[in-house]
Amino acid sequence: MLLVDETDENAATSENQAHPHEPHGNGLASRLNWLRAGVLGANDGIVSTAGLVVGVAAATTTTSAILTAGISGLAAGALSMAAGEYVSVSTQRDSERALLAKERRELRDEPDFELTELAQIYVGKGLSPATARLVADELTAHDAFTAHAEAELGLDPSDLTNPWQAAGSSAISFTIGALLPILAILLPPVSWRIPVTFVAVLIALILTGSISARLGRSNPRRAVLRVVVGGALAMAVTYGIGQVAGVSGL
């Protein structure tokens, strides 16, 4: 049995649409989180696929071998990102649903206690007891469950993170990132493959590093340096491995 039933979710959604100007404190933060997750996924796709194709290109000039490695790496990486994200978001969603179900039970069994509790929360936020009581009364009359979910749990019951959506977006962002080194190594003439890929990847990492630093409000120079050094190291190591494997004819 679903703990949050569909009718409630739909009711809350149409409520939101009816009041498009209602401020939603969590909206911007969660959108930034999504954007940040997307950039990190792309970053993963760039670095792991670049390492893979540079390693294979160091061992062989055969285009089909490089392409096969690149596409396999892309598929494996995108699927593993999606699976990991699905599991972690599902776990989070389960615990959010359990909290919401508990809140719903409490509202049903002890409505008076819950009303006092809600008023207390608004007193804690700085309202006078009389105003807090009025706010709690009106919110309870309007939609007690949503009011409690937001005030007590910081959750919007109509907007829990969807694990499929999270899985899909990390797979897509990884794929977009992975396409860059694959194209960079296949498009130029054979002798240019590795240097072009190296430069293209480092430029892309400067970009993703500075975007994610900006989104996370951290020092952009340090973030860019970290991600560029990491990417360069990954390619240098797999290039070395590919050379050894290629020369020794493994």
Residues that bind Zn ion (CB under 5 A): 114, 148, 152
Residue at shortest CB range from Zn ion? 148
Q: Which is nearer to Zn ion, 152 or 159 (CB)?
A: 152
Q: Please give the Cα distance from 49 to 175 (Å, whole number).
A: 10
Please, what is the minimum distance in Å from the beta carbon of residue 19 to Zn ion?
Answer: 22
Q: Which is nearer to Zn ion, 85 or 114 (CB)?
A: 114
Please, what is the minimum distance in Å from the beta carbon of residue 234 to Zn ion?
Answer: 49
Number of other CB atoms surrounding residue 217 within 10 Å: 8
- In the numeric block, which tokens belong to residue 161? 């993170």
Q: Which is nearer to Zn ion, 148 or 193 (CB)?
A: 148
Please, what is the minimum distance in Å from the beta carbon of residue 159 to Zn ion?
Answer: 19
Q: Which is nearer to Zn ion, 32 or 121 (CB)?
A: 121
Q: Which is nearer to Zn ion, 114 or 156 (CB)?
A: 114
Please, what is the minimum distance in Å from the beta carbon of residue 209 to Zn ion?
Answer: 43
Please, what is the minimum distance in Å from the beta carbon of residue 143 to Zn ion?
Answer: 13
Q: Which is nearer to Zn ion, 110 or 237 (CB)?
A: 110
Q: Tokens 């309007």 sit at which residue?
A: 142
Please, what is the minimum distance in Å from the beta carbon of residue 148 to Zn ion?
Answer: 4
